[in-house]
Amino acid sequence: MLHYSIVLDVDPAANAISARTSVTAQATQDMSAFNLDLSGLEVHDVTVDGIAAEFSRSGTELTVRPALALVDGQEFSVGVSYSGTPEPIDDPGVPFTTLGWHSQGGAIYTINQPSGAMTWYPSNNHPSDKATFEFRITVPATTTAAASGLLVDETTTDGRTTTTWRMDDPMATYLAAVYIGDFERVEHGRLDPAGPLLRDYVPRDAAPDIGEALAVTADAIGFLEELLGPYPFGAYGTIVVPVEFEFALENQTLSIHGRHVLSPDIIAHEAAHQWLGNSVALEDWGDIWLNEGFATYLHLMFDAEHHGMDFELNMQQLHAQLPFFAATPPKGISPGELFGPSVYFRGAMTLHALHLLTGDEMFFAILGAHYDRSAGGTTNTEEFLGIVDEFAGPEAVNVVESWLYSETVPDLPEPRAG
Ligand code: ARG
Ligand code: ZN
């Protein structure tokens, strides 16, 4: 996939969409048919390079048969027109929530990770197949719409407002987001002239404590830029939805947080994912520790600094608790454990073990190389271990591997002297 253009006409009161998604893609083999992922909704027509194509549906597979077969290397475009009420889906990877398009608490929002994107647009719904995106969302003029990326146009005619959003940096399908409701856009300007535009979306009737909680964002971005390099996209911010779910999600450039999930550590966590998870994406969900372990380690560092706590001591205490709540290895997990405590906390402790072993300078060089070398693309655990080997040698690789794979929680290495 190269580019998605998603045009949504939304009736929020009826929770109904009338939509057209156009994709440009490049064939990686000769083919007479291909599949897109789409769950529910009614498909009206499909075109390939502007010519009507036959299509059929089975489960969440939309099979398209172009009038002319495609050849290896050929760039082509697909247009899909569809409508209906998007229905959230269940996914064994996230037993604690439904996924996809939600209409709840007077707002519409999307929570895709990992598989929910197919509830509202047809895609190759795989984390490794990143593409650029454009969103064009039409809603009643009394309602606010937002999406991933930069707001590039806003036009109102006959009581309906269309906003256009561009995400020119590659994005995985699960990070594409749309939000509709009674939100106020709160602008905070830029961190520095070349830095990202900081803006949040909060419920218009929000209590002032929401704005106070979000004020930590600029500090978190600054902290992360010191460690990882410049923020990867043109904008960042948080949308707080008036719904009581107990998590947050790093949708690209505009993370979604439940109403009460606004502590500094979680704000820093979702910001960290913009570098690690979003810019550097996964080739495979089995490597989710590369997202969650890294974001957790960075949020724990930020939180200790923010509250003036002793980071080393915090990590020692966390290490002592791991056997009781995050004992299992963060690699080789079952689908139900994708977002479990082992991935987050034993994953973070894996990095702490490496940090203790190598000392600050080498550890931050490894972290920087891990980000730099895959920024805008994808990576995997083998690549990370290759960087560890290159900077710190095979003994460090053994330590990281024991943290990733051993059935019991390893001891922490003695801190490197100096
Ligand atoms: N990646 C999210 C985080 O930063 C986890 C969100 C869990 N929910 C979900 N639908 N995947 O913690
Ligand atoms: Zn996370």
Instruction: Say yes or no to pLDDT of 399 above 80.
Output: yes
The percentage of residues in the chain with a pLDDT greater than 70, rounded to a whole number, is: 100
Closest residue CA from atom 1 of ligand 1: 249
Cα 274 to middle of ligand 2, angstroms: 10
Cα 259 to middle of ligand 1, angstroms: 15
- pLDDT tens for 143-196 read 999 999 999 999 999 999 999 999 999 999 999 999 999 999 999 999 889 999
Task: Please enumerate in sequence order all residues whose Cβ is within 8 A of that of 114, keeping only pairs 6 or more positions apart, or say none.
Answer: 91, 93, 94, 99, 127, 174, 285, 338
Q: Which amino acid is at 263?
A: S
Q: Which residues surround ligand 2, an ion (CB under 5 A)?
A: 292, 295
The pLDDT value recorded for residue 182 is 97
DSSP letters spanning 346-387: IHHHHHHHHHHHHHHHHHHHHHHHHHHHHTTSEE-HHHHHHH
The pLDDT value recorded for residue 303 is 98
Is the pTM higher than 0.95? The answer reads yes
N-to-C CA span, the chain: 48
Q: What angle do CA 232, 296, 284 make, to 5 degrees?
A: 70
Q: How far apart are CA 407 and CA 327, in angstroms?
A: 8
Cα 71 to middle of ligand 2, angstroms: 39
Among 155, 227, 173, 165, residue whose Cα is nearest residue 197? 165
Nearest atom in ligand 1 to 277's CA:
1
